[in-house]
Copies of this chain bind each other. A is one copy, B any other.
């Protein structure tokens, strides 16, 4: 189960990106393009393009007469959705899930507050609909369906905030929720309290109650963090 790989470029990029983010090449490791070309059985052209992309993500640095050096984690563009996906697929998924969840706990309440001020009627409707969808699928081992509504719900909130930076975190949240659902054993149904909170957030937004929307979302976030504490080291 590797990558679809429609094109040599994506294939090599996925392979290298995954390997690097997985820590397979410790920081400071030096790779040579010729060697990589040989290893993946592609032309140097393809490798160079891949390296350029990796370089733009600050995963590696390419210097003449030296080669392609793997950079320390601290330099990585950890907001790049691609990098996030690679890391979530790799070894330290728990650590990654935690730091992303903390980020969510900071951003989403504020976003919800703004959404209460800025959401269009259409967005309010969508929000309510997704919350109801969550309620409907919250019992009876329907986690996959629940997940779809959950993701949609948070996407709408972030998007309705009217802030571009928040809106763009939709993908990140989707990755987190997906990772979380697929990681846990997936036997239980979601926490009923969380479901209720989502419904109430939808209400608060509809009623333009920013403070309440913010506070309720904060509770969702705290819950998510606690859940993580329980289920991860």
- Interface of A toward B, CB cutoff 8 Å: 9, 45, 48-49, 52-53, 55-57, 73-74, 76-82, 99-100, 102-103, 105-107, 109-111, 114, 163-168
Question: A111: which B residues are within 8 A, CB to CB?
Answer: 106
User: Contacts A49-B48, A74-B167 given: A82-B56 contact, CB under 8 Å?
Assistant: yes
Q: Do B78 and A164 touch across chains, with their CB atoms under 8 A apart?
A: yes
Q: Do A165 and B100 touch across chains, with their CB atoms under 8 A apart?
A: yes
Tell me the complex Cα distance, A107–B109, Å: 11
Question: A52: which B residues are within 8 A, CB to CB?
Answer: 9, 49, 52-53
Interface CB pairs A-B, < 8 A, 12: A9-B52, A53-B55, A56-B56, A56-B57, A56-B80, A76-B168, A78-B165, A79-B168, A99-B163, A102-B163, A102-B166, A106-B106
Question: A9: which B residues are within 8 A, CB to CB?
Answer: 52
Majority SS of interface residues in chain A? Answer: helix
Question: A77: which B residues are within 8 A, CB to CB?
Answer: 79-81, 168
- Chain B residue nearest to A114 (CB atoms) is B102
Tell me the complex Cα distance, A109–B45, Å: 46
Tell me the complex Cα distance, A48–B48, Å: 10
Least CB distance, A193 to chain B, in whole angstroms = 22
Q: Do B78 and A168 touch across chains, with their CB atoms under 8 A apart?
A: yes
Least CB distance, A185 to chain B, in whole angstroms = 26
Question: A53: which B residues are within 8 A, CB to CB?
Answer: 52-53, 55-56
Least CB distance, A220 to chain B, in whole angstroms = 15
- Chain B residue nearest to A64 (CB atoms) is B7
* With A77-B81, A99-B163 already in contact, 5 other A-B pairs whose C-beta atoms are closer than 8 Å: A9-B52, A53-B55, A56-B82, A80-B80, A102-B165
Least CB distance, A64 to chain B, in whole angstroms = 10
The residue that A99 contacts in the complex, of B45, B81, B103, B164, with Cβ under 8 A, is B164
Tell me the complex Cα distance, A165–B107, Å: 12
Q: Do B103 and A165 touch across chains, with their CB atoms under 8 A apart?
A: yes
Tell me the complex Cα distance, A74–B48, Å: 29
Question: A107: which B residues are within 8 A, CB to CB?
Answer: 103, 106-107
